[in-house]
Amino acid sequence: MNQKELNKILSNHLKYLHDTGGERADLSGADLRGADLYRASLQGANLEDANLEDADLEDADLRDAYLQGAHLQGADLQGTDLRDANLEGANLESAYLRDANLQGADLSGADLRGAYLQRADLRDAHLYRASLQGANLEDADLDFTSIPLSCNGLNFKIDERLAKQLMYHVINLMQYSGLDVNKVVKKKVYAWLSDSHLVTKHSLPILKKKE
């Protein structure tokens, strides 16, 4: 698909969104490798199985878009609005998702290996069976989401905020289960966790060493 054809589809989709005629964009299975979709309005568009490898989608509006099985390897999705988008099984390997809004997005089974997700908003996102190896999640917000407890959920970068969040959950579960936390956790860890955003923002209790 050339840029002229793509621009016509985008124009018709914009009319559809504004109830001024046009039609919803159906780009399912389309070859859009390297396409210029900078700041494109594709809310609710159908991009299922589309090939968007190395495409420029920076600051695009992809809210509620259908991107199941889409090929987004190396795509530029910085600042892109992907709230409630369906990215189930999508390939996002080495994609740039810095500052992207992925609130409520379905990333089940998505390939996020080596993806750049710094400062991305992943609240309420679904990461069931997603592959995160080599991804960078520094300063990302993962509140109310889940990280896969499998090999797919190992070897990715986090920051201290997320480290505290994860450690808080581990210690809480160990204490609740009556396991000997003191055997593996030193007293200074509790002090380190005292200013976790789970305590300061979500008002969870400060964890204390149990004798």
Architecture of the 28-158 domain = 3 Solenoid (2.160)
Q: Which residue has the higher pLDDT, 191 or 83?
A: 83
User: How large is the average pLDDT for residues 188-193?
Assistant: 90
Above 90 in pLDDT, residue 105?
yes
Taking only the tens place, the pLDDT of each residue in 23-65 is 999 999 999 999 999 999 999 999 999 999 999 999 999 999 9
Dihedrals phi, psi of 193, to nearest 5 degrees? -85, -10
Element (H, E) at 138: none
Contact in structure between 100 and 79 (CB atoms under 8 Å): yes
Say what the pLDDT of residue 81 is: 98
Domain positions in the chain:
28-158, 160-200
Report the greatest alpha carbon distance in the chain.
70
